[in-house]
Structure 1
Amino acid sequence: MIKTDILIAGGGIAGMSAAARLAADGHSIIIVDPAPADIGEGSDLRTTAFLEPGIATLKKAGVWDAIKPTGAELRVMRIVDAGGETRTPRETADFDGAETTQGFFGWNVSNKAARVALMAKLATLENVDFRFATTVTGFTGTARAGLIELSDGETVEAKLVIAADGRNSSLRDMAGITHKRWAYDQSAMVFVVTHDQPHDNISTEIHRTGGPLTLVPMPDLDGKPCSSVVWMTPAKRADELNALTDDALSDAITHDTMNLFGPLTVASPRAVFPMISQVPGRLISARLALIAEAAHVVPPIGAQGLNMSLHDIETLAELIARAKHNDEDIGATSLLKSYERKQLPKTLARVGGIDLLNRASMFEPKTLRDLRYAGLTAINRIGPLRKLAIKVGVGK
Structure 2
Amino acid sequence: MDHDIIISGGGIAGLTATAAFASAGFDVLCVDPAPPVTTRDAQGADLRSTAFLQPARQLLMDVGLWDRLETHAAPLQIMRIIDAGGEEPLARTSKEFNAADISDLPFGWNLPNWLLRREMAAHLEGLPNVTYRTGVRAKTLFTRTAEARVGFSDGTRAKSRLVIAADGRGSPMREAAGITVKTTRYGQKALAFSVTHEMPHENVSTEIHRTGGPFTLVPLPDFDGKPSSAIVWMEEGPKAKALAEMDAAQFEDAMNIRSCGVLGHLTLNSARTIWPIISQHAERLGGERLALVAEAAHVIPPIGAQGLNMSLNDLKALRDLAVARPEGLGDAAMLDAYHKARINDIKLRVAGITMLNRTSMLSARPLRDARAAGLNALYSFAPLRKSIMQMGLGARG
Q: Same fold per TM (> 0.5)?
A: yes
Greater Cα offset, 343-352 or 41-50: 41-50
Correspondences of 1:105-254 after superposition (within 5 Å): 105-254=107-256
The residue correspondences of 1:296-375 to structure 2 (distance < 5 A) are 296-324=298-326, 328-375=327-374
The answer to which of 219-228 and 96-105 deviates more is: 96-105
Task: Determine the structure 2 residue equivalent to 1:67.
Answer: 69
Residues 32-85 of structure 1: per-residue CA shift (max 9 Å, x gap) = 11113x533452211111112111111111011111211211111100111134
Task: Specify the code of the residue in structure 2 equivalent to 1:115.
Answer: R
CA distance in 2: counterparts of 1:114 and 1:316, whole angstroms: 22
Q: Which amino acid aligns with 2:78?
A: V
SS of 1:39's partner is: coil
Say whether the 8 Å CA contact 2:3–2:28 is kept in structure 1.
yes
User: How far off its partner does 1:23 sit?
Assistant: 0.8
For structure 1, the residue ranges without an aligned partner over 5 or more in a row are none
**Alignment TM-score, normalising by the size of structure 2:** 0.95
Q: Which of 48, 58, 61 is the matching residue for 1:46? A: 48
CA distance in 2, matches of 1:164, 1:231: 25
- Could you tell me how far apart the structure 2 residues matched to 1:89 and 1:336 are? 47
In 2: Cα distance, 1:14 partner to 1:208 partner: 31
Q: Are 1:378 and 1:385, in contact at CA under 8 Å, matched by a contact in 2?
A: no
Query: Could you say what secondary structure the match of 2:182 adopts?
Result: strand
- Cα distance in 1 for partners of 2:241, 2:285 equals 35
CA distance in 1, matches of 2:87, 2:383: 30
Asked if the contact 1:212/1:231 (under 8 Å) is kept, the reply is yes
1: CA distance between counterparts of 2:310 and 2:295?
9
For the aligned residues, what is the CA RMSD?
A: 1.3
Aligned residue number for residue 58 of structure 2: 56
2: CA distance, partners of 1:160 / 1:377: 48
For residues 393 and 329 of structure 1, the distance between their equivalents in structure 2, rounded to whole angstroms, comes to: 33
Partner residue in 1 for 2:392: 393
Cα separation, 2, equivalents of 1:157 and 1:190: 38
* 1:68–1:109 CA contact under 8 A, matched in 2: no
Q: Is the 8 A contact 1:40 1:119 kept in 2?
A: no
Aligned mates of 2:259, 2:13 — CA distance in 1: 32
The one-letter amino acid paired with 1:30 is L
Number of the residue aligned with 1:29: 28
Q: CA deviation at 1:200?
A: 0.5
Residue 20 (structure 1) aligns with: 19
Residue pair 2:102, 2:386 contacting (<8 A) in 1 also: no
Q: Which amino acid aligns with 2:212?
A: G
Helix, strand or coil: the match of 2:325?
Answer: helix
C-alpha displacement of 1:86: 5.0
The residue type equivalent to 2:342 in the other structure is Q
Aligned-pair CA distance for 1:305: 0.9
Question: 2:341 is matched by which residue type in structure 1?
Answer: K
1:102 CA drift (Å): 4.3
Give the conservation status (yes or no) of the 8 Å contact 2:2–2:159.
yes
The question of whether the paired residues in 1 share the 8 Å contact of 2:37 and 2:46 is answered with no
> Secondary structure of the equivalent of 1:302?
coil
Change (3 A) 1:137 1:259: closer
User: Counterparts of 1:273 and 1:152 in 2: how far apart (Å)?
Assistant: 29
Question: Normalized against structure 1, the TM-score is what?
Answer: 0.96
Cα offsets for 1:236-256 (capped at 9, x unmatched):
111222222222222211112
Residues 90-143 of structure 1: CA deviation (Å, up to 9, x unaligned): 221111121233420111101011001100110000011111111222212221
